Amino acid sequence: MLRRTLLTLLGGSAVALDDKLLGAVDNTRRRMDDTLASATVSPAMLDEWEGNVASFGRQYMNVPTLRLLCDVLLEFSSVRHALSRRQPYDTQERLLKLAAQLAGLAGILMIDVGDHRLARSFFRTGRTAADETGDRALRAWVTVRESLVPFYYGDMREAINLAQKSQSLAGQTPCAAAAMAPIVEARALAALAGNGRKDAVDKAKNALSRARSAFSQMRPDHQRDAAFGYTQKQLFFHQGDVLTGIGQTQEAEVLLLKALDAYETEWLDPTLIRFDRARCRLLEGDPDEALRLGMEAIQRLDAEHQKADIVLQRAKDLLTTAEHKDANGRAVREFKEFLASIRDNESNEKQGAMDL
């Protein structure tokens, strides 16, 4: 009716302001009211979602990965649905923060299950959402979490670039990323130092010092949050990892044992800590003990986690280094056979699934 009225007026004819036209005008207004009312997420719902996300962060180290991933993605879907509608500015900002946190947490969980491609995809989504908020600490957190993907899969230069980008985003803000980003940088530099880059040692020590300083300025509640914050046990582990990489094995061993004692039901970090202890034995010239510790680290895991890419990559790295020291040793042969048995079990499971 409004279009017909406009066309009539454009044609130069008069139009009576009757009940039908007034009804069309009022109906247009009512539809806008309905849209505004249906699009608005209640404060109670936002509070509930934010509480759930905080709870997911607390559950990160204690709940089975796939179960938590399902919970996170269901909540992620609800937030996406709310974002698909027009929202008031303050509501939109809170929803975008939730989207960034949930995407980042999904990325972390995808690292844990060994799918680095999906992990990167979730982190990219998280960065897109975080960039819309203007929250520097949140943007820095997503970026430093993403830096762990290239770090765990061997691209140390990209890990360093992302860690430095995270530090730049964090600026002087005392937040989790301000401590975690220089730690990732230090770990990547230490890995390069182990590959013969001697100039990386001093840089790694400098980054480690910055991380310790930033950690001391974090809020206590952030120091207790393993997912959205950065904890003391993580700091022990990562310092030990850096010191292992630069060859300071005695100091590393002390920190790694402290970290191992602090972890309880978690699987990934303790496994990586045990591989670091094995690396220390290698650096001290004892490949047999190193491979024994590496095998023990894998045997502690259930069958599903034994096949995770991160675990197998660490095992292969350990074996490669041990072979350089004692290629024909009995421990090397046994470790090769052990890894082969894991691969064979995985192949049999895949074939069984295909047959079904």
Give the orientation angle of helix 176-194 with respect to helix 156-170, to 10 degrees: 160
pLDDT-based confidence at residue 36 (cuts at 50, 70, 90): low
pLDDT-based confidence at residue 353 (cuts at 50, 70, 90): very low
Tens-digit pLDDT profile for residues 298-313: 999 988 888 888 889 8
Between the alpha carbon of residue 158 and those of residues 24, 110, 129, 235, the distances in Å are 59, 19, 22, 22
Tens-digit pLDDT profile for residues 135-163: 999 999 999 999 999 998 889 999 999 99
- State how far Cα 331 lies from the chain centre: 35
CA-CA distance, 207 to 213, in Å (whole number)?
A: 10
In the chain, the percentage of residues whose pLDDT exceeds 90 is 61
pLDDT (0 to 100) of residue 97: 97
Which is more confident, 275 or 115?
275
| Pick from 27-36, 230-239, 277-286, 327-336: least confident | 27-36
CA-CA distance, 118 to 123, in Å (whole number)?
A: 9
CA-CA distance, 353 to 64, in Å (whole number)?
A: 23
**The CA-based dihedral angle spanning residues 118, 121, 122, 127, taken in that order and rounded to the nearest 10 degrees:** 160
Mean pLDDT of the chain: 88
pLDDT (0 to 100) of residue 31: 76
Largest distance between two CA atoms of the chain: 101
Tokens of 107: 């990325």
Nearest Cα neighbor of 96 from 68, 129, 120, 65 is 129
CA-CA distance, 208 to 235, in Å (whole number)?
A: 10
The pTM for the full model equals 0.82
Mean pLDDT for 293-301 is: 95
The answer, yes or no, to whether residue 346 has pLDDT greater than 70, is no
pLDDT (0 to 100) of residue 43: 86
Tokens of 292: 């024994």
What one-character DSSP code corresponds to residue 317? H
- State how far Cα 23 lies from the chain centre: 54
Residue 126: partners with Cβ closer than 8 Å, 6 or more residues away: 99, 100, 101, 102, 103, 104, 107, 142, 145, 146
What one-character DSSP code corresponds to residue 191? H
Mean pLDDT for 335-344 is: 89
Tens-digit pLDDT profile for residues 201-245: 899 999 999 999 999 999 999 999 989 999 999 999 999 999 999
Instruction: Tell me the three state secondary structure of residue 167.
Output: helix
